[in-house]
A and B are shown apart, each in its own frame.
Chain A
Amino acid sequence: DTGVSQDPRHKITKRGQNVTFRCDPISEHNRLYWYRQTLGQGPEFLTYFQNEAQLEKSRLLSDRFSAERPKGSFSTLEIQRTEQGDSAMYLCASSSIGRVGETQYFGPGTRLLVL
């Protein structure tokens, strides 16, 4: 079990640029989640996939955000025309549904700073 990995770990960009983050879930997990965490707050749900299907998106996810999970394995989160308000930690989590419930395991996150 290698855990959830995310790349890059840090990203500094200028306002207006596009950025893309990658998440590699735990291999046997069929669910993948994206969250955003700002300073002093708990993580907030952005979107989730079951296999390759994106099943729910939060209202936090504006049109500038898009996420994919093309083969049901890794996922990418793209932010177009970044704004300073996008600065945050972007977390990825994966899970599989057990007999009783679901436990999500988190990656280290990608910290985005928009200048």
Chain B
Amino acid sequence: AQSVSQHNHHVILSEAASLELGCNYSYGGTVNLFWYVQYPGQHLQLLLKYFSGDPLVKGIKGFEAEFIKSKFSFNLRKPSVQWSDTAEYFCAVISYGSSNTGKLIFGQGTTLQVKP
């Protein structure tokens, strides 16, 4: 079965520290990749996405992610986190197989806590 694995469930950083959240998926075919963020009390919001082309994608609020096909990975990065980045982060994949279903398969999520 297709699956998405996020390596870290809970990350605590100080402001200005660098961030990297790991994400690996199991499907070997054509994939679209996403990172969603859920700030406290808010709904899921799209942070960035990869469909094709340049494997380094930039999103909102200074986040970026790199698609490494050979490693089935799509890690999220930010050079310098802020207290306002405290949130839950979800990696998600759409794998297009025999059907054209665009259902998202999510990882478990990573809770990021940034200390001021």
Contact = CB atoms under 8 A, between A and B. Distances in A.
B109 A48 contact: no
Contacts of B4: 42
Contacts of A91: 43-44
Contacts, number: 60
A16 B52 CA distance: 47
B103 to A, nearest CB: 4
A100 B36 CA distance: 19
Chain B, interface size category, equals 20 to 34
Nearest to A97: B102
Q: Is the contact region of chain A dominated by helix, strand, or loop, or is it mixed?
A: strand
B107 A42 contact: yes
A55 B102 CA distance: 11
Contact of A105 (B46, B99, B103): B46
Top 10 nearest A-B pairs (CB, nearest first) are A42-B106, A101-B51, A106-B44, A45-B103, A108-B43, A102-B102, A100-B51, A101-B32, A56-B101, A43-B106
Interface of B: 4, 32, 34, 36, 42-46, 49, 51-52, 90, 92, 94, 99, 101-109
